[in-house]
């Protein structure tokens, strides 16, 4: 809907009638605004650079604003006479357009009455909490957008979507028509002021180097632009909206009748739209649940939306930080104890891990040759025997015991089958035979240790070590000590058919016990 | 593989759009290893060198969802030039060469083994997303473990939230060309038999009957996996691996000449090495699910079809309290199973089961803490505290008048008397001992660096281990320079070997230099001190080079 031009002439006539009374009113308003500026709450739609965002809760979400700040004493620029140009400080210094390094929060512009605007500087007037139902879908799981995907912004403008979309019934397309043709997330979809704003506001943006505000208050720079001395010298604070680190074609979604609110929430109920109105991945998964071969395009594949490195893995390192999965995604929150937790995720969905991690990332630990101190801390060589007994961490998740462990044990003489030159004379790694080896069994007998954690034995011993006692007597060379669990005879038949080799280590082919299995 | 890659390049004629990556990693380490008695000292002079070569987007410009082809491989040299060095007076190379005496010889060990970690051609999203494949040496990681094989894998993705995978080839085995034993099932000592023979001065199977020949191990597997939904995922997988060739069975020389190999009995033929099925799934109702709730769950198991037993299972539930906290409970069951050639499948009795509760707090984007506590149970068939007393009770006092567990010796005759006691089910009731355990981990990110804390405790009647590390890293000049440090204190106690109990303090100092995005150099100095080794020093140098065009 196009706006009609304001009837400036009628206002000019009316102004002439008001005379001195208006001037006194203006002075009073100026004083009031000064007092308000000194002692009242400051409001800034965006956090000051370096200030942390508010920690969200599950309840209605506060906008990502800084705590209120005290506005500077010189921040307010009262308009003494509506007919006069904004009485900005006639300082030679231009309003600083330092978009990325502004030291103070941007000030809301002043009304014609001299009082500060209270609308359009935060999503909800008075910096209130935005109800969850107005937030983008998925905000319950992710109250704030990802810093890595949507880097922090600086919005230096005042805008009331509720007034424009709600009261004035302007559709999103009126200002954001670019979205309908946009195929790249880096496209700027902010309205072109000369094509949109100028239709209703008394201002001419046709030459952005020489913007001409009209006489109507809604055409003044400070009506929309925030910041100290906004409009002074024809300059306003730069708006910083970094391009998202995402693949996203608005056109494709709009062509499929995915409307704006389905991703951005109820923006028409809000005043200023901030980063908080950007989509959440949890919301994207409302549709993006389809497999890679699906006929539609709403695939759940990670690289459908996420940027990738040349090796096909997701790009995860960004200026704002490192992209990691959210907690709710496959329970794969990369928490501080991820080393202990990741096995269950990898066991179920290693391709999910592989969307970001290369083979090398995993093999650095699981087939690594440089000891990882987070897994094997301190003097691990001295400590690992006790760790092996405790099965903490599990040796077999990274090591082949009979070679990786066994070779070193043979070299230092710990293993029973160490070469003769390294076998220690008169020394035992285990307790004395009466305690460890022979009956009657002590509480430290090897039988109990083997039953509890056989892997610890396998890291050092070969089959021959055990067959010495546990093979059958006679040709097999053992002492006939039965190592099998109870009930073994009733379950060995199938195994014997599949592979009789282990049985023949201890039993002769004609052994009566073997016939039971057969 | 190179030919196939070139063929694909030629077919698509878009080599100029392909991305080439060369990556090299060098790690040099020097430290000493002593025997528990201190009289043998091994000098480890380790050098690991990897070289990775990859070509991505062979088809030309990469477009998500469109067919994408790549080739990647990584070679590794893992040398220890400290081998053979500490044995003065021995023949040169005596640890890796039998050299007539075998006094120091360790079969299968090499000073500088070379292996191909992985090397494959991959196609993704072929046929409009329906097909994916890999050819070459590759990994499969699922509930059945982290596994490597040489062969082919084909993945079929359907539009119906399901994808199927089949693969086949040869398991990577120690002793085969460019291979390590990392991925074969535990329980069998295998390796290359270079130099083995029956001649004088040669090692033979007679000397090392447990050291089996490395033979090709055909394998195949299949999997069904969900595809698409983010809130639910599951994968069921099956894998079978075969052993082939000849394997020594009897561990002691058989005087009978027939059917023997070098005096030892052997078995020849194809047989099962591993035959397992596994399933794992996860569910998270926070987002995308038809029913929303701030909880997640996961679980899985693997079943060893050869040993006819559940090898492992796990399960857990998490609850998400706002955005700050996660609470969870987990259970993990593990029963060791081995290669089907191994006798140890038939020695396995009890599993260990771990129950734990967990809390994780993400206070800010920079600071998070995780805590975990629980118990690990160990089982035996019989009560270790009373079993030996029961054995004594069955032996005639005239034979062993002062029969006591741990001091007396039961000879073969006495053993026959105890046999009934030992195998009686009433004496083999399951007995459980419990270890308590706990972990803590915390991280605080500061700009270009971080501070961290890790601590653990596990204690029970079989000993304890407790300690923690505090570490920090900081980058300077935009990460071009790095400094790192770590302080560590641990205490452990082993009742079975009280002379090996100790308290150990250690620290690490590290410095790094990253001249650009193509290189990363780091040096670390580690010093540990405890009563067992006095002082142990370790120096590590790491150099990573990476070029992408």
- Quote the ipTM score: 0.93
Asked whether the beta carbons of A52 and A63 are under 8 A apart, the reply is no
Range name among A24-33, A179-188, A272-281 with the lowest pLDDT average: A24-33
* B540 contacts on A by Cβ (under 8 Å): 370
Helix (H), strand (E) counts: chain A:
18, 4
Q: What is the pLDDT of residue A85?
A: 36
Most confident of A21-35, A112-126, A267-281, A468-482: A267-281
Residue A330 has pLDDT above 90, yes or no: no
Q: Cα-flanking dihedrals φ and ψ of residue A173, to 5°? A: -65, -25
Distance, in Å, from the CA atom of B472 to the CA atom of A288, rounded to the nearest integer, reads 40
Q: Is A497 on the interface with B (CB under 8 A)?
A: no
How is B358-413 classified by DSSP, letter by letter? EEEEE-SSSEEEEEEEEEEEEEEES-TTTHHHHHHHHS-TTTSTT--TTT----HH
pLDDT band at A234 (very low <50, low <70, confident <90, very high): confident
Q: Count of A–B CB contacts within 8 Å?
A: 536
Distance, in Å, from the CA atom of B475 to the CA atom of B533, rounded to the nearest integer, reads 34
Residue B171 C-alpha, separation from nearest chain A C-alpha, in angstroms = 14
Distance, in Å, from the CA atom of A189 to the CA atom of B190, rounded to the nearest integer, reads 64
Nearest CA in chain B to A296: B159
Asked whether the beta carbons of B449 and B473 are under 8 A apart, the reply is yes
Nearest CA among A260, A239, A235 for reference residue A45? A239
SS3 B537: strand
Q: How big is the CA angle at A234 (ends A228 and A235), to the nearest 5 degrees? A: 50
Average predicted confidence (pLDDT) for chain A: 79
Q: Which residues pair with B242 in a beta bridge?
A: B272
Residue A265 C-alpha, separation from nearest chain B C-alpha, in angstroms = 16
Distance, in Å, from the CA atom of A195 to the CA atom of A3, rounded to the nearest integer, reads 12
Residue B480 C-alpha, separation from nearest chain A C-alpha, in angstroms = 15
Contacting A residues, span 29-88, partner chain B, CB-CB under 8 Å: 52, 55-58
* B117 contacts on A by Cβ (under 8 Å): 359, 363, 367
SS3 A365: helix
Q: Cα-flanking dihedrals φ and ψ of residue B248, to 5°? A: -65, 135
| Residue in B68, B247, B378 closest to A452 by CB | B378
SS3 A43: coil
pLDDT band at A175 (very low <50, low <70, confident <90, very high): very high
- How far, in Å, are A122, A133, A390 from residue A45 at the CA level? 5, 20, 55
Residue A173 has pLDDT above 60, yes or no: yes
Nearest CA in chain A to B343: A502
Asked whether the beta carbons of B126 and B155 are under 8 A apart, the reply is no
Return the residue in A292, A311, A433 with the most chain B beta carbons within 10 A, the one to mutate for interface testing: A292
Contact B227 A300 (CB under 8 A): yes
The two three-digit tokens of residue B246, written as one number = 């000849």
* A321 contacts on B by Cβ (under 8 Å): 365
Residue A5 has pLDDT above 80, yes or no: no
Contact B90 A403 (CB under 8 A): no
Q: What is the pLDDT of residue A295?
A: 66
Distance, in Å, from the CA atom of B130 to the CA atom of B70, rounded to the nearest integer, reads 17
Tens of pLDDT along chain B (549 residues) come to 444 444 544 544 444 578 999 999 999 999 999 888 888 889 999 999 999 999 999 999 888 889 999 999 999 999 999 999 877 778 888 999 987 788 899 999 999 999 999 999 999 999 989 999 999 999 999 999 999 999 999 999 998 889 999 999 999 999 999 999 999 999 999 999 988 988 888 898 888 999 999 999 999 999 999 998 889 999 999 999 999 999 999 898 876 555 555 578 899 999 999 999 999 999 999 888 888 899 999 999 999 999 999 999 999 999 999 889 999 999 999 999 999 999 999 898 889 999 999 999 999 989 999 999 999 999 999 999 999 999 999 888 877 888 889 888 877 777 778 888 998 999 999 999 999 999 999 999 988 899 999 999 999 999 999 999 999 999 999 889 999 999 999 999 999 999 999 999 999 999 999 998 899 999 999 999 999 999 999 999 999 999 887
Contact B104 A329 (CB under 8 A): no
Q: Is A369 on the interface with B (CB under 8 A)?
A: yes
Nearest CA among B329, B134, B229 for reference residue A312? B134
Nearest CA among A238, A280, A278 for reference residue A154? A238
Q: How many CB atoms lie within 10 A of CB B110?
A: 14
**Element spanning B282, H or E:** strand B271-284
Q: What is the pLDDT of residue B207?
A: 85
Residue B130 C-alpha, separation from nearest chain A C-alpha, in angstroms = 5
- Give me the residue label for tokens 């035979």: A433
| Residue in B280, B308, B388 closest to A440 by CB | B388
| Residue in A294, A410, A505 closest to B251 by CB | A505
Distance, in Å, from the CA atom of B6 to the CA atom of B134, rounded to the nearest integer, reads 16
* B391 contacts on A by Cβ (under 8 Å): 439-441
Residue B355 C-alpha, separation from nearest chain A C-alpha, in angstroms = 13
**Element spanning B431, H or E:** strand B430-446
Half-sphere exposure of B529 (CA within 13 A, CB side): 4
- A150-170 pLDDT, tens per residue? 999 999 999 999 999 988 999
Q: Is A396 on the interface with B (CB under 8 A)?
A: yes
Contacting A residues, span 180-239, partner chain B, CB-CB under 8 Å: none
Asked whether the beta carbons of A83 and A26 are under 8 A apart, the reply is no
Q: Cα-flanking dihedrals φ and ψ of residue A422, to 5°? A: -115, -5
Contact A58 B322 (CB under 8 A): yes
Nearest CA in chain A to B250: A505
Residue B138 C-alpha, separation from nearest chain A C-alpha, in angstroms = 9
- How far, in Å, are A501, B52, B157, B275, B424 from residue B176 at the CA level? 21, 21, 34, 22, 46
B331 Cα distance to chain centroid? 20
Q: What is the pLDDT of residue A2?
A: 34
Residue B234 C-alpha, separation from nearest chain A C-alpha, in angstroms = 6
- Give me the residue label for tokens 């990882």: A372
**Element spanning A505, H or E:** helix A501-506
Q: How big is the CA angle at A457 (ends A401 and B387), to the nearest 5 degrees? A: 160
């Amino acid at each position: 809907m196009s706006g009609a031009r304001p009837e400036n002439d009628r206002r000019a006539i009316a102004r002439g009638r008001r005379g001195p009374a208006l001037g006194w009113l203006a002075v009073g308003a100026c004083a009031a605004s000064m007092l308000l500026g000194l002692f009242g709450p400051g409001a800034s739609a965006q956090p000051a650079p370096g200030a942390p965002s508010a920690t969200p809760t599950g309840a209605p979400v506060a906008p990502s604003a800084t705590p209120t700040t005290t506005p500077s004493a010189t921040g307010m620029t009262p308009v003494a006479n509506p007919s006069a140009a904004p009485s900005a400080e006639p300082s030679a210094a231009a309003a600083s357009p330092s978009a990325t390094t502004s030291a103070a929060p941007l000030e809301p512009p002043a009304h014609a009455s001299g009082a500060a605007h209270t609308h359009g500087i935060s999503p909800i007037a008075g910096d209130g909490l935005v109800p969850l139902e107005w937030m983008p879908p998925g905000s319950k799981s992710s109250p704030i957008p990802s810093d890595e995907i949507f880097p922090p912004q600086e919005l230096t403008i005042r805008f009331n979507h509720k007034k424009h979309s709600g009261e004035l019934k302007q559709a999103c397309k009126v200002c954001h028509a670019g979205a309908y043709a946009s195929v790249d997330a880096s496209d700027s979809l902010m309205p072109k002021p000369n094509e949109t704003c100028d239709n209703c506001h008394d201002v001419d943006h046709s030459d952005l180097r020489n913007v001409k505000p009209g006489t109507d208050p809604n055409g003044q720079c400070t009506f929309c632009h925030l910041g100290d001395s906004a409009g002074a010298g024809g300059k306003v604070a730069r708006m910083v909206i970094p391009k998202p680190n995402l693949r996203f074609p608005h056109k494709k979604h709009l062509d499929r009748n995915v409307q704006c609110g389905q991703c951005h929430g109820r923006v028409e109920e809000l005043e200023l739209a901030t980063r908080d109105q950007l989509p959440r991945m949890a919301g994207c998964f409302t549709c993006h649940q389809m497999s890679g071969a699906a006929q539609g395009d709403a695939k759940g594949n990670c690289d459908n939306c996420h940027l990738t490195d040349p090796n096909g893995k997701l790009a995860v390192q960004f200026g704002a930080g490192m992209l990691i999965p959210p907690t709710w995604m496959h329970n794969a929150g990369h928490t501080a104890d991820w080393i202990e937790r990741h096995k269950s995720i990898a066991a179920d969905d290693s391709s999910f891990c592989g969307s970001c991690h290369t083979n090398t990332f995993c093999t650095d630990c699981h087939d690594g040759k440089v000891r990882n101190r987070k897994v094997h801390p301190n003097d691990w060589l001295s400590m690992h025997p006790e760790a092996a007994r405790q099965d903490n961490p599990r040796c077999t998740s990274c090591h082949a015991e009979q070679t990786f462990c066994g070779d070193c044990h043979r070299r230092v003489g710990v293993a029973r089958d160490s070469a003769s030159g390294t076998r220690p004379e008169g020394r035992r790694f285990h307790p004395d035979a009466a305690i460890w080896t022979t009956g009657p069994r002590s509480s430290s007998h090897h039988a109990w240790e083997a039953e509890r954690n056989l892997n610890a034995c396998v890291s050092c011993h070969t089959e021959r070590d055990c067959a010495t006692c546990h093979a059958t007597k006679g040709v097999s060379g053992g002492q006939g000590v039965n190592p099998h669990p109870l009930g073994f005879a009733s379950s060995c038949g199938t195994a014997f058919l599949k592979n009789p080799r282990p049985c023949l280590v201890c039993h002769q082919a004609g052994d009566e016990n073997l016939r039971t299995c057969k | 593989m190179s030919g196939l890659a070139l063929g694909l390049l030629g077919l698509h004629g878009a080599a100029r759009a392909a991305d080439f990556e060369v990556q090299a990693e060098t790690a040099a380490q020097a430290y000493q290893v002593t025997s528990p008695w201190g009289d043998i000292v091994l000098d480890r002079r380790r050098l690991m060198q990897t070289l990775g070569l990859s070509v991505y987007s062979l088809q030309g410009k990469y477009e998500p969802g469109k067919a994408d082809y790549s080739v990647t491989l990584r070679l590794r040299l893992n040398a220890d030039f400290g081998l053979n060095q500490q044995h003065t007076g021995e023949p040169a190379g005596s640890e890796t060469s039998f050299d007539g005496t075998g006094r120091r010889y360790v079969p299968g060990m090499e000073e500088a083994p070379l292996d191909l970690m992985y090397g494959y051609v991959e196609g993704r999203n072929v046929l409009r997303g329906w097909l994916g494949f890999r050819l070459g040496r590759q990994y499969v990681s699922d509930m059945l473990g982290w596994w490597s094989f040489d062969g082919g894998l084909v993945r079929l993705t359907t539009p119906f939230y399901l994808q199927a995978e089949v693969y086949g080839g040869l398991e990577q085995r120690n002793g085969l060309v460019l291979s390590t034993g990392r991925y074969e099932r535990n329980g069998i000592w295998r390796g290359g038999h270079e130099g083995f023979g029956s001649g004088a001065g040669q090692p033979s199977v007679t000397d090392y009957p447990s050291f089996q020949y490395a033979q090709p191990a055909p394998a195949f597997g299949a999997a069904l996996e969900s595809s698409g939904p983010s809130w639910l995922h599951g994968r069921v997988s099956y894998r079978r691996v075969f052993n082939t060739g000849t394997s020594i069975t009897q561990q002691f020389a058989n005087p009978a000449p027939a059917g023997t190999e070098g005096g030892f009995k052997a078995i020849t033929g194809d047989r099962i090495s591993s035959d397992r099925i596994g399933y794992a799934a996860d569910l998270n109702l926070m987002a995308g699910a038809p029913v929303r709730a701030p909880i997640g769950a996961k679980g899985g198991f693997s079943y060893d079809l050869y040993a006819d037993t559940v090898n492992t299972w796990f399960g857990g539930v998490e609850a998400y309290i706002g955005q700050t906290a996660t609470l969870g409970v987990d259970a993990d069951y593990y029963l060791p199973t081995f290669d089907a050639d191994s006798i140890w499948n038939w020695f396995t009795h009890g599993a260990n089961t771990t129950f734990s509760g967990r809390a994780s707090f993400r206070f800010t984007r920079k600071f998070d803490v995780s805590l975990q506590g629980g118990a690990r149970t160990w089982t035996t068939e019989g009560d270790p505290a009373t079993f030996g007393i029961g054995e004594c009770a069955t032996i005639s006092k005239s034979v062993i008048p002062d029969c006591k567990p741990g001091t007396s010796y039961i000879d073969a005759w006495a053993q026959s008397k105890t046999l009934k006691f030992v195998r009686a089910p009433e004496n083999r009731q399951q007995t459980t001992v419990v270890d308590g355990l706990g972990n803590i981990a915390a991280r605080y990110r500061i700009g270009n660096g971080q501070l961290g804390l890790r601590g653990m405790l596990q204690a029970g009647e079989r000993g304890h281990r407790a300690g923690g590390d505090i570490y920090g890293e900081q980058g300077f000049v935009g990460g071009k320079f790095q400094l790192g440090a770590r302080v560590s204190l641990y205490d452990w106690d082993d009742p079975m070997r009280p002379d090996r109990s100790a308290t150990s303090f250690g620290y690490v100092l590290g410095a790094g230099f990253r001249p650009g995005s193509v290189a990363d150099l780091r040096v670390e100095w580690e010093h540990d001190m405890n009563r067992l080794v006095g002082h142990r020093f370790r120096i590590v140098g790491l150099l990573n080079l990476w070029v992408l065009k």
